[in-house]
A and B are shown apart, each in its own frame.
Chain A
């Protein structure tokens, strides 16, 4: 056995150990020049105009001049612009003498830390302004910034803005700093800077608009409502100064709903408000079965009655469940089972 003593320097000269070839800017520029020159030569060879020689013409010319029987498209001869062939290198962040451009380059996350630096500077500015106002005994502005309609940027939006990865801790720290800045009384000075990081949130309609009463030719007040239950949908028109007559699809309820339970459902909203004999109702209903049609008309009439009644009573109706759409529908059958929940009979053997 002979001990082979080599120095570390010699061992490192192994060619395969180095990474992919580095393409300098000069090299890429030379390649582009050669490509353009070659394009003109090719056009001359094919007898076409060098000025109007497109990439498709190049591809056709190469396929004609160098026919290849290889199956893989990537193995065939190709002549494309160098930017498509050589992989894109990460933009170099230092100049020719090696000095980086950004003063926080050596931290690793230069855009994020420079953002923190700027935000902290704004905070210090606001504090200085506040101190000046206190020194001059002027009152500090107490206008509360409306935070309800705005939200901060999400982590992904911040990453897009900074063009580099931001971790969860860093993001939460940044948001905390922004909140601290906004909490100061004189933060209005830096309003423009803060707006860069806040977004408007469209306020969802929380209050349901109750429609006002309409009046027909005879001067009688009426109101309409719509309701659905399972697959039935109904529209109801409730008239004032009535005798408690209810018509469904042109038929009286006694004939349309022979079962007592359905008629009780129809009368429930009126009974709840104590207005049984005071309103007339005309409804149209389609779809579903008898119980679901009754439920649909109940919801429609309750919605129509909202216009006749005070806000407090509307709230009582809502709490009683008269104004809520019943979300229960028929559940679908699943494969491998007999029904939506029922499984096939299990046989031990």
Chain B
């Protein structure tokens, strides 16, 4: 049992997340497109490659590295049977995110975030509730273009976060930010596909390892 949990940690890329995407895939899905220069957030400047005709272009080399770290982390969390909560407040992609979560067997929250969901969970849900072990943000801003309350709450409750940060977002409190576009449907579909594939892969690997151990 101990070996089952410690073995994946010794490999840098146990679940092979690098093979799931290439730079060309990210480019075709328009992940590199950011917002206009006026919307730029100060802390996103390291991740921006340049500015063309007032529109920011995100550095895809850095995005690749961040995406690989983030997907690796989600795979490890899913391998250990953690609860993953997909959060997004974009109305266009609400249905897509919920369907992705259902397909993985994980959870989604794309609706109005009630104040005490994470911090006051024992009162809201009942005693003995288990909080999510990872929060995945497909868009870190809410409908009023402010940082989502869940980022701050997850930081308060010591829950790690993975989030797609656009050029107008604040990447500060997110543990594994992924600089990239969060507005185009193509980009969001790509992210959903990648997360779904990693989680499914990690869970399958866990099931195979357990079955293998049962046989021995």
Q: Interface SS of chain A: helix, strand, loop or mixed?
A: loop
Are A121 and B111 in touch, CB under 8 angstroms? no
Distance in Å: Cβ of B28 to nearest Cβ of chain A: 23
**Bound-complex Cα distance A347 to B81 (A):** 87
Interface string of B105-132 (1 = CB under 8 A from A): 1111101001001000000111111101
A348 within 8 Å of B by Cβ? no
Asked whether any CB of chain B lies closer than 8 Å to the CB of A106, the reply is: yes
A interface footprint on B72-108 (CB within 8 Å = 1, 0 otherwise): 0000000001010100000000110011011001111
B105 — which chain A residues lie within 8 A by C-beta?
103
Bin chain B's interface residue count.
20 to 34
Q: Nearest Cβ in chain A — how far from B169, in angstroms?
A: 22
* Chief secondary structure at chain B's binding surface: loop
Q: Which of B85, B111, B127 contacts A19 (CB 8 A)?
A: B127
Interface segment among A3-11, A91-99, A248-256: the answer is: A91-99
A320 to B95, CA, bound (A): 60
Contact A117 B107 (CB under 8 A): no
**B130 adjacent to A105 (CB under 8 Å):** no
Inter-subunit contact A103/B101 (CB<8 Å): yes
Knowing A106-B132, A117-B95, A124-B95, the reply to whether A92 touches B107 (Cβ < 8 A) is: no
Q: Which B105-164 residues have a C-beta within 8 angstroms of A?
A: 105-109, 111, 114, 117, 124-130, 132
Count contacts between A and B, CB distance < 8 Å: 53
Chain B hits for A107, CB < 8 A: 109, 111
User: In the complex, which residues of chain A have a beta carbon less than 8 angstroms from the beta carbon of B132?
Assistant: 106
Closest Cβ of chain A to B110, distance in Å, is 8
Q: A3-29: which have CB < 8 Å to B?
A: 19, 22
Contacts of A103 in B (CB 8 A): 98, 101-102, 105-108
Q: How far is the CB of B143 from chain A (nearest CB, A)?
A: 15
CA distance A99 to B84 in the complex (A): 10
Pick the contact of A99 from B83, B99, B101 — CB < 8 Å?
B83
Query: In residues 89-137 of chain A, which contact B (Cβ within 8 Å)?
Result: 90, 92-94, 97-100, 103-109, 113, 117, 120-121, 124
**B129 partner residues in chain A, CB cutoff 8 A:** 94, 98
User: How many Å lie between the Cα of A104 and that of B108 in the bound state?
Assistant: 6
Chain A residues whose CB sits within 8 angstroms of the CB of B108 once the complex forms: 103-104
- Determine which of A94, A97, A120 lies in contact with B95 in the assembled complex, contact meaning CB atoms within 8 Å: A120
Given A22-B127, A99-B83, A106-B132, A113 contacting B111 (CB threshold 8 A): yes
Contact B109 A99 (CB under 8 A): no
A104 with B107: CB separation less than 8 A: yes
A93, B95: Cα distance in complex, Å: 23
Nearest-CB distance from B190 to chain A (Å)?
Answer: 20
Interchain CB contact under 8 A, B130 and A104: no
- Please give, as numbers and ranges, the residues of chain A lying within 8 Å of B109 by CB-CB distance: 104, 106-107
Q: Which A residues lie within 8 Å of B95 (CB)?
A: 117, 120-121, 124
CB distance from A179 to the nearest CB of B (A): 18
CB-CB under 8 A from A106, the residues of chain B are: 85, 107, 109, 117, 132
A108-B124 Cα distance, complex, nearest whole Å: 8
Interface centre among A92, A99, A103, A120 (most CB of B within 10 A): A103
